[in-house]
Amino acid sequence: MIAIIDYDMGNLRSVQKGFERVGHEALITRSPREILDADHVVLPGVGAFKDCMTNLKEYGLIEPILRAIASGKPFLGICLGLQLLFTESEEFGRHNGLDVIKGRVVRFPEGLQGPSASGSGLERLKIPHMGWNSISIKKRPPVLDGIDDGSYFYFVHSYYVMPEDDEVIATTTDYGIEFTSSIRRDNIFACQFHPEKSQTVGLKLLKNFGSLQ
C-alpha cells in the first residue's frame, strides 16, 4: 500500500490516479497509523511553504513523516513535498522546514533569460517556471530506471532547492540557471516536477517508485 499524505494542500487525487494507472494501490490519508503501516509514503504539495508546514503541524503529521523516513521505507516528495524536506525556505519570510535535507529553498532571481520560442535569441523568462522542461541526470536512482537523460517533465514553481551537499542531487534542470530538480538520499527521492502531470515518463517514475522494495 502507498500512503499519500493529506494535509489539505494540492490535488492529491491526481497523484492517486497516477499510481492507480500503473497498477499500484494508493490511499489518501492523514492517519499517522496508516502512514506508518504503509509500504511506501508520498508527500505531495502545492501552495505556500509556511501554510504547508502549519497544516502538517496542525494535523500531527510531522512525527509520522520523520518516522516513516527513518524506517527506511521508500519515500517520495513531489513539488512542495521536496521543498518541505529542507532546512528552511525564504518564501514570504524565513520559515523552518522538516530539516531532513540540509539546505534552503530560494526564489528564482528576476531577469533570467533563456532561448526565445522563435530561436532568434534570448528572452526574459517568466516566474513561476511553468510548463515542460528537461532533466539532466547526475545520479540515477532506481526511480529513474528506464527514463532517458533529457526527458521532459512538467513544472510549476517559483522557488527551488539548494542542498548543502551536492551528493544528494539526482537531476538538474536549466531555467536561466541550472537548479536542482530532484534529490535522492537513501530511501528518499523527491522531485520539483510533477510526475503525475508528466504523461508517459511521469507514470514510469511512479511505477518505478511503487515497485521499490
Cite the active site residues.
79, 194, 196
- Which candidate, 207, 186, 187, places its Cα nearest to that of 195? 207
Q: Give the CA distances from residue 25 to residues 32, 41, 51, 195, 203, in Å, rounded to whole numbers and listed in that order.
A: 18, 12, 28, 17, 14
Contact criterion met (CB below 8 Å) for 53 and 95: yes
d(CA 59, CA 40): 20
Residue that the C-alpha cell 490535488 belongs to: 11
- Which candidate, 153, 143, 135, places its Cα nearest to that of 194? 153
Q: Which three cell numbers stand for residue 148?
A: 532517458
d(CA 195, CA 201): 8
Dihedral, CA atoms, 12, 153, 206, 148, nearest 10 degrees?
Answer: 180
d(CA 202, CA 210): 12
